[in-house]
C-alpha cells in the first residue's frame, strides 16, 4: 500500500507542477465543443488514412469509473470532466482509441491487455494518454482561434 500512495502522491505533485491553471469559458454548447475537438484531429486522421471522423455521444452525468469511453464511438461523461481542459484531454484520448481501432489489428486484444496488465499498463491506454498530452495545448489554441473557448 505504501508504494501505491507514493505513486499517487507523485502523480498529484506532477499534476500540480505541470498543469495549466488557465481557466476557460465555453462560448458554445458542449456538443459543439466536443465536435470541434474531433474536427481538430482531421489532419491526424488524414495522415493515418482514416476517412471518417468518429461518432460521439455526450452524457451529462458523472461516471464513477470513466471520464470517457470508446466503443466504436466516443462517449464523453461531462460530469467526470469538470473543466474545458478535461473535456479536451478526454476527447483526444478517446480519439486515439478510434485511431487504434482503425489502424492497429492488435486493438481487438484491448480487453486482454487490461485483464493481464491492468488499465494503467495497457499499452493502448499508455499510447492514448501520450496522444492526448501531445495534442492538448495545440487543440486548446485551435479552439481559442475559432472562438469556441476563451479565458475566464
Question: Phi/psi zone of residue 118: left (φ > 0), alpha (ψ -120 to 50 degrees), beta?
Answer: left
pLDDT, residue 22, reads: 74
Note the pTM of the prediction, 2 decimals: 0.85
Q: What is the mean pLDDT of residues 63-91?
A: 97
Domain extent for 9 = 2-151
Residues 6+ apart with CB under 8 A from 90: 67, 68, 76, 80, 81, 132
| pLDDT, tens only, 1-17 | 545 444 544 554 444 44
Number of structural domains, the chain?
A: 1
Grid cell digits, residue 52: 471518417
Amino acid at each position: 500500500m505504501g508504494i501505491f500512495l507514493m505513486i499517487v502522491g507523485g502523480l498529484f505533485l506532477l499534476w500540480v507542477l505541470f498543469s495549466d491553471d488557465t481557466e476557460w469559458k465555453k462560448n458554445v454548447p458542449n456538443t459543439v465543443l466536443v465536435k470541434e475537438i474531433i474536427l481538430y484531429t482531421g489532419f491526424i486522421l488524414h495522415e493515418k488514412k482514416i476517412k471518417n471522423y468518429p461518432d460521439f455521444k455526450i452524457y451529462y452525468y458523472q461516471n464513477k469509473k470513466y471520464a470517457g469511453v470508446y466503443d466504436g464511438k466516443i462517449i464523453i461523461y461531462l460530469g467526470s470532466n469538470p473543466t474545458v481542459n478535461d473535456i479536451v484531454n478526454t476527447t483526444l484520448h478517446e480519439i486515439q482509441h478510434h485511431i487504434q481501432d482503425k489502424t492497429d489489428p492488435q486493438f481487438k486484444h484491448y480487453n486482454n491487455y487490461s485483464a493481464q496488465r491492468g488499465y494503467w499498463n495497457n499499452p493502448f491506454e499508455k499510447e492514448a494518454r501520450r496522444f492526448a498530452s501531445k495534442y492538448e495545448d495545440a487543440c486548446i489554441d485551435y479552439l481559442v482561434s475559432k472562438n469556441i473557448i476563451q479565458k475566464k
